[in-house]
Amino acid sequence: MRYRQSYKEKMELEKAAMVAAGLVSERYAGVSNIEFQMTYYQRGLHPVLMTRTLSFLPANYATFHMKCMQEGCTDGGYDLAPVVDGLAHSRKKTVKGKIFCHGTNDTIGHASIAYEVNIQYCKPVK
């Protein structure tokens, strides 16, 4: 029973964080689409854990924290909000990079992602 309560509390906290982040249209006026192309890496024999593409439209919540997919990782993940902020404020269209998970796991530097963020802007009305 305690597990259900803690899971429910966790989900409520995640929802509150999404609402607090606001919508893409509120945070990034003039953006029509934000796309993330990510490759998740882990240590071991098979370093590529998965590839993933996510798209955010103006009506979506502007939550760009991706969870760590490494089993056993707690309090980890990848915060791509600063990447999106920098890209949108400079009005650039694309950026590539790599970040590491700093969550709690039995191995340090246990996971990372290589990412490409592409932003499409609304066409100005003439």
In a domain, 1, yes or no: no
Whole-number pLDDT of residue 2:
55
Closest CA to 85 of 58, 59, 119: 119
Q: Is residue 99 part of a domain?
A: yes
Tally of CA atoms within 13 A in the half-sphere of 82 that contains its CB: 4
The domain in which residue 29 lies consists of: 22-121
Tokens representing 4?
A: 């259900």
**Could you tell me if residue 11 is inside a domain?**
no
Q: Does residue 26 belong to any structural domain of this protein?
A: yes
In this predicted structure, the answer to whether residue 116 has a pLDDT above a threshold of 90 is: yes
- 112 assigned to some structural domain: yes
Is 6 within a domain?
no
pLDDT band for 112, please (50, 70, 90 cuts).
Answer: very high
In CATH, what number is assigned to the domain containing residue 76?
3.10.50
- Would residue 100 count as lying in a domain? yes
97 is a domain residue: yes
How many independent structural domains does the chain possess? 1
* CA distance linking residue 104 with residue 117, whole number of Å: 26
Q: Which two tokens stand for residue 35?
A: 């796309």
Residue 45 — very low, low, confident or very high, per pLDDT cuts 50/70/90? confident
One-letter amino acid at 20 equals: A
